[in-house]
């Protein structure tokens, strides 16, 4: 059975939904950023600092190809993963790709709810955050829209909404 690969902007719920989806399907869940950090014993931020974005993106593409070869998994990709090299075409060729789509306003709300500090967002006011998301989502969405399946995720602020997203993905994939 093909792997399920989740793509979308940061804050779209790829990790949260991915974990629940994997559990519901009895599959193993992988987060690509966590996989990279485990393999290289460095955080993504450290890798960016040491190798620059180009170096990180090359490493990310190689690790995507490694982990996506595992069988029967649910994989959550970093927000930028589909946008570099031929990663999105590769993702489509090895698994069922699902774009977790949300408006910039919803993404901003998700990111504010999360306690995780994201270097790209550090120090931004709410208005600056929303402008940043709008601009970068506009650049990235053409890649995300190549996914075989698109799920519109609303504010994932409770368990019922999370389960609804998982159910919608399962229905789209016929699982």
In tens, the pLDDT along 68-98 reads 999 999 999 999 999 999 999 999 999 999 9
Residue 74 falls inside a structural domain: yes
Which range (7-11, 47-51, 137-141, 162-166) has the least confidence?
162-166
* Counted domains in the chain: 1
Which pairing describes strands 95-101 and 149-152: parallel, antiparallel, or unpaired?
parallel
Domain that holds residue 161: 3-170
Q: Residue 30: which of 4, 8, 53, 10 has the closest Cα?
A: 4
Residue 167: predicted pLDDT: 87
Residue 175 falls inside a structural domain: no
Count of Cβ atoms closer than 10 Å to residue 52 Cβ = 11
Residue 163: predicted pLDDT: 84
Residue 155: predicted pLDDT: 59
Q: How far is CA 140 from CA 44, 70, 88, 119, in A?
A: 19, 26, 11, 18
SS3 (DSSP) at 29: strand
- CATH assignment of the domain containing 20: 3.40.50.300
Please state, rounded to an integer, the average pLDDT across all residues of the chain. Answer: 90
Asked if residue 106 has pLDDT above 60, the reply is yes
Burial label, 122 (beta-carbon count in 10 A; 0-12, 13-18, 19+): exposed
Contacts of 110 (CB under 8 A, 6+ apart): 11, 12, 13, 102, 155, 156
Tell me the pLDDT tens digit for each residue of 13-66.
999 999 999 999 999 999 999 999 999 999 988 998 899 989 999 999 999 999
Residue 41 falls inside a structural domain: yes
Asked if residue 100 has pLDDT above 70, the reply is yes
Query: Please, where are the H alpha helices in 71-154?
Result: 87-94, 104-113, 126-144
SS3 (DSSP) at 60: helix
Q: Copy the structure tokens of residue 8.
A: 């979308």
Stretch 6-11: mean pLDDT: 94
Tokens 């090299």 found at: 85
Percent of the residues in the chain that have a pLDDT greater than 70, as a whole number? 92
């Amino acid at each position: 059975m093909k792997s399920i690969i989740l793509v979308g902007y940061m804050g779209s719920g790829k990790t949260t939904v991915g974990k629940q989806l994997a559990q519901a399907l009895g599959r193993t869940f992988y987060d690509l950023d966590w996989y990279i950090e485990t393999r290289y014993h460095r955080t993504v931020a450290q890798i960016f600092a040491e190798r620059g974005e180009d170096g990180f993106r090359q490493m990310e593409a190689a690790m995507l190809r490694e982990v996506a070869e595992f069988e029967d998994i649910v994989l959550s990709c970093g927000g930028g993963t589909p946008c570099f090299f031929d990663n999105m075409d590769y993702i489509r060729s090895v698994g069922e790709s699902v774009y977790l789509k949300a408006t910039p306003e919803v993404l901003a709300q998700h990111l504010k709810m999360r306690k995780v500090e994201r270097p790209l967002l550090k120090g931004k006011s709410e208005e600056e955050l929303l402008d940043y998301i709008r601009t970068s989502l506009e650049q990235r969405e053409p890649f995300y829209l190549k996914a075989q399946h698109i799920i519109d995720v609303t504010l994932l602020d409770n368990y019922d909404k999370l389960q609804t997203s998982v159910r919608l993905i399962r229905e789209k994939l016929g699982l």
